[in-house]
A = this chain, B = another copy of it.
């Protein structure tokens, strides 16, 4: 939407000021390209449809509809479900209680409620240069100054830079982080940086929003312990069943200091009254049956296989000089190509001529001059099957072969 257009609209129907500052995102621009037939897409962050627990879900639907008619009514948040979430979090080293949990319509609503609680219009926030676009969508509404810090592809957010910002007078409403299976970089925040980030948050009394939709999907060794395990009063944790069970249940949660959950409940009620009691009952019923742990083991094994297939294909696919890291959690692989390649333009060639798609780095970046973003791609390995990953990488490889000489071995 061009600025002129927005002004005209405001004049006609009297819209709020924020619409003047809203533009289409590069991600939205990419969507029509992805909607073409026969495209193999590594672009979006979708779970695998073959791994949806349709049978368990179906059984839970029947049980709930026959045994719990109140699941169709408005209702107070399910204590049974909250108790299951307490146990889930304990398995990750987090001690919390039911009164600290607010059930939400997915992780996105949880972030949106926490931001509404903490952020006044035009305040500062700290986030990464390369950042989940849904977060920018939430905060843009408040027109804040986003103080950006870089992300290292092996160790995560540049916490020294966070410290420097705070030391030199920044006064952000919060620090936003995805410490596990970072979106889009795929990295886990290193242990050393976790400690440092928590220490800095404490020293400057700045809350952290810890978004963790992928935290239960780790591929090597155990899951990383969330920041919330260490800091109960300064970390707002956000979790979700979207990637563990199914996105369309729209069921997530946040864990907040107990003294502010009342405000979050007011915001939640104003937003949409309550989180679907039907989905709450279904998921509580599934968790009660002990379904989740074997299911998570299956997801981890399958997603790890898909990641490995993609990793194995990378050196023969991407041009010499490309670099990437091995994600130990989540849905994404980040590849940085040689600087001269503009991946936003490349996507058009890939989709139109080679029927394969990825998300260009610029979709995650607020600064149009960022060279790293401009020459990078985010690849999703959770949605396509192993054979589609192989075929898609072949297509990418022949594109690079035609447009950049023979595909060469990239450097790890």
Contact = CB atoms under 8 A, between A and B. Distances in A.
A80 interface: no
A118 B14 contact: yes
A323 to B, nearest CB: 30
A291 interface: no
A410 interface: no
Contact of A52 (B16, B69, B257, B266): B69
Interface residues of A, number: 76
Interface string A81-122: 000000000000000000000001110110010001111110
A15 interface: yes
Nearest to A110: B272
A15 B117 contact: yes
B49 A69 contact: yes
A330 interface: no
Contact of A270 (B17, B65, B141, B234): B141
A234 B14 CA distance: 10
Given A15-B117, A19-B117, A250 B276 contact: yes
Contact of A272 (B62, B173, B250, B269): B250
A75 interface: yes
Contacts of A248: 71-75, 276-279
A62 B65 CA distance: 11
5 contacts: A49-B69, A57-B65, A57-B72, A112-B270, A250-B275
Given A9-B259, A14-B118, A248-B279, 15 more contacts: A16-B119, A17-B120, A44-B74, A61-B65, A73-B247, A108-B271, A134-B269, A138-B270, A246-B278, A247-B277, A250-B250, A250-B274, A250-B275, A250-B276, A271-B271
